[in-house]
């Protein structure tokens, strides 16, 4: 097991900065998720940790060991990739045992570890089969079993579930969380799927443009995003944002005819003093068919029944919001609607910097 310390790591490909001076400490046995859109630098950062990419600036430590210049084989890591990367000419047993054979483990130790890993992944009955005889989900389990059988200090996972269908991904996500809790190892997991990130990680590190925007617990990243991008990227639907006009003194802000308390001078001053972004999640808005004190007036554009609830798209001035309503609600397109916002769930952002105002 190992703590991972990344200190001011920078990686460039020609004129493109893929990882921009990232510093991050991952405690021993933590499951951290690197989350962001394609091209944000999350996989490149993972490859820098693995030693598959040589960093241009900065250092990488595993515990007290400086591994920045060490080759992959000396870092005591194991990896699971997006592709299954199983050997088609080998049985499941031999696939799982491959890394152990490279370590020259005894036959008894090899057999014990392969059996233990297979049992954790519930594939012990498949050890004699070949990959062509397995489903996609089973092949992915083989790849994970091979990684954990290696008994490495650090487990690195690069979008391991993205090739699976939705139902299998849901099943594997639950299995993976159970497995990691049993292994008690340090895990760095890369994904662009924010549902995976929220459900799996002890912490989430949100990346954009090669830089870290926020590193915190899943509930904090979801409920208190540090930037407009974080709120708009995480959540299904993502956080709603409305443009608000700051009142004199900045202690309040107005959306339409409705006024809300705002950070103003008590928080960090916005770079555009006349405007603020009001952020609110769909589940923190109460839709009403009649006017209500402090409510924002709008018009229903679309109602999407989703079984457990209805998702309503509402036009408010020039902007649109997503609102969750009870599955039995009777809203319809073209209907006037009034939205009551949970005051303690409003998050304010600076339109100039895109950063949260506290």
Same structural domain for residues 12 and 159?
A: yes
Higher pLDDT, residue 73 or 58: 58
Q: Which of 106-110, 199-203, 206-210, 332-336 has the lowest mean pLDDT?
A: 106-110
Same structural domain for residues 167 and 281?
A: no
Same structural domain for residues 35 and 162?
A: yes
DSSP letter (8 states) at residue 258: E
Angle, CA of 90, 91 and 94, to the nearest 5°? 75
Higher pLDDT, residue 105 or 50: 50
Whole-angstrom distance, CA of residue 260 vs CA of residue 75: 53
Judged against a pLDDT cut of 80, whether residue 84 lies above it is answered with: no
Domain of 155 in residue numbering reads as 4-231
Judged against a pLDDT cut of 80, whether residue 270 lies above it is answered with: no
* Residue 248 pLDDT: 66
Q: Are 234 and 194 in contact (CB under 8 A)?
A: yes
Residue 235 in tokens: 């959540």
Q: Of 203, 231, 259, which residue constitutes the final position of a domain? A: 231
State whether residue 290 is helix, strand or coil: coil
- Residue 112, φ and ψ in degrees, nearest 5: -65, -45
Q: Are 163 and 140 in contact (CB under 8 A)?
A: yes
Same structural domain for residues 110 and 86?
A: yes
Judged against a pLDDT cut of 60, whether residue 265 lies above it is answered with: no
Same structural domain for residues 149 and 52?
A: yes
Provide the percentage of residues in the chain whose pLDDT is more than 90. Answer: 63
Higher pLDDT, residue 262 or 335: 335
In a 10 Å sphere around its CB, with 0-12 CB exposed, 13-18 middle and 19+ buried, how is residue 9 labelled? buried
| Number of structural domains found in the chain | 2
Average of per-residue pLDDT across 266-279: 71
Average of per-residue pLDDT across 4-33: 96
Judged against a pLDDT cut of 90, whether residue 25 lies above it is answered with: yes
* Residue 268 pLDDT: 56
Helices 136-149, 166-183: crossing angle, 10 deg rounding: 20
Whole-angstrom distance, CA of residue 355 vs CA of residue 317: 24
Same structural domain for residues 38 and 56?
A: yes
Q: Of 231, 254, 282, which residue constitutes the final position of a domain? A: 231
Average of per-residue pLDDT across 180-190: 88
* Residue 171 pLDDT: 79
User: pLDDT tens digit string along 87-108?
Assistant: 899 999 999 998 888 888 888 9
Q: Are 227 and 267 in contact (CB under 8 A)?
A: no
Average of per-residue pLDDT across 135-143: 85
Q: Which strands make up the sheet holding 186-191, listed edge to edge?
A: 77-80, 154-158, 186-191, 31-35, 203-208, 211-216
Same structural domain for residues 186 and 106?
A: yes
What are the distances in angstroms from CA 46 to CA 103, 184, 189? 23, 20, 8
End-to-end CA distance of the chain: 37
* Residue 218 pLDDT: 96
Q: Of 176, 199, 231, which residue constitutes the final position of a domain? A: 231
Same structural domain for residues 67 and 180?
A: yes
Q: Count CB atoms within 10 A of the CB of residue 156.
A: 23
Q: Which residue has the tokens 């008894």?
A: 108
Same structural domain for residues 199 and 241?
A: no
Same structural domain for residues 206 and 281?
A: no
- pTM comes to 0.88
User: pLDDT tens digit string along 313-326?
Assistant: 999 999 999 999 99
Half-sphere exposure of 67 (CA within 13 A, CB side): 27
CATH number of the domain that residue 50 is part of: 3.40.50.300
Question: What integer best gives the mean pLDDT of the chain?
Answer: 90
Judged against a pLDDT cut of 90, whether residue 70 lies above it is answered with: yes
E-strand spans in 81-217? 154-158, 186-191, 203-208, 211-216
* Residue 288 pLDDT: 95
Judged against a pLDDT cut of 80, whether residue 271 lies above it is answered with: no
Residue 344 in tokens: 């303690």
Q: Of the candidates 9, 85, 84, which has an alpha carbon nearest to the alpha carbon of residue 47?
A: 9
Provide the percentage of residues in the chain whose pLDDT is more than 70. Answer: 96
Average of per-residue pLDDT across 119-131: 88
Average of per-residue pLDDT across 150-178: 82
Average of per-residue pLDDT across 204-218: 97
Q: Of the candidates 64, 53, 69, 50, which has an alpha carbon nearest to the alpha carbon of residue 19?
A: 53
Same structural domain for residues 166 and 245?
A: no
CATH number of the domain that residue 304 is part of: 2.40.50.140
């Amino acid at each position: 097991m190992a703590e991972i310390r990344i200190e001011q790591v920078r990686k460039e490909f020609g004129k493109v900065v893929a990882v921009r001076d990232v510093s991050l400490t991952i405690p021993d046995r933590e499951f951290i998720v690197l989350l962001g859109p394609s091209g944000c630098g999350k996989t490149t950062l993972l490859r820098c940790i693995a030693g598959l990419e040589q960093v241009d600036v900065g250092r990488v430590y595993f515990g007290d060991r400086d591994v920045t210049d060490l080759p992959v084989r000396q870092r005591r890591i194991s990896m699971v990739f997006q592709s299954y990367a199983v050997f088609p000419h080998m049985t499941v047993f031999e696939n799982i045992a491959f890394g152990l054979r490279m370590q020259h483990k005894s036959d008894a130790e090899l057999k014990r570890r392969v059996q233990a890993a297979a049992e954790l992944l519930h594939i012990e009955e498949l050890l004699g089969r070949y990959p062509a005889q397995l489903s996609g989900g089973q092949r992915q389990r083989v790849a994970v079993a091979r990684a954990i059988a290696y008994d490495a200090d650090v487990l690195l996972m690069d979008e391991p579930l993205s090739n699976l269908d939705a139902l299998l991904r849901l099943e594997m996500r639950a299995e993976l969380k159970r497995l990691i809790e049993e292994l008690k190892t340090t895990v760095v997991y890369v994904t662009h799927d924010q549902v995976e990130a929220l459900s799996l990680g002890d912490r989430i590190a949100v990346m954009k443009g090669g830089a870290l925007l926020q590193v915190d617990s899943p509930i904090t990243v979801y409920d208190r995003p540090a930037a407009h991008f974080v709120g708009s990227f995480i959540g299904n639907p993502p956080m709603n944002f409305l443009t608000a006009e700051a009142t004199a003194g900045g202690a309040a802000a107005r959306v339409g005819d409705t006024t809300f308390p705002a950070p103003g001078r008590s928080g960090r001053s916005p770079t555009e003093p006349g405007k603020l972004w009001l952020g609110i999640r769909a589940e923190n808005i109460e839709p009403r068919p009649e006017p209500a004190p402090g409510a924002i007036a709008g018009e229903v554009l679309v109602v999407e029944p989703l079984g457990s609830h209805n998702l309503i798209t509402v036009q408010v001035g020039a902007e649109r919001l997503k609102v969750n309503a009870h599955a039995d609600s009777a809203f319809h397109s073209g209907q006037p609607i009034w939205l009551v916002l949970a005051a303690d769930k409003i998050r304010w952002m600076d339109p100039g910097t895109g950063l949260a105002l506290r």
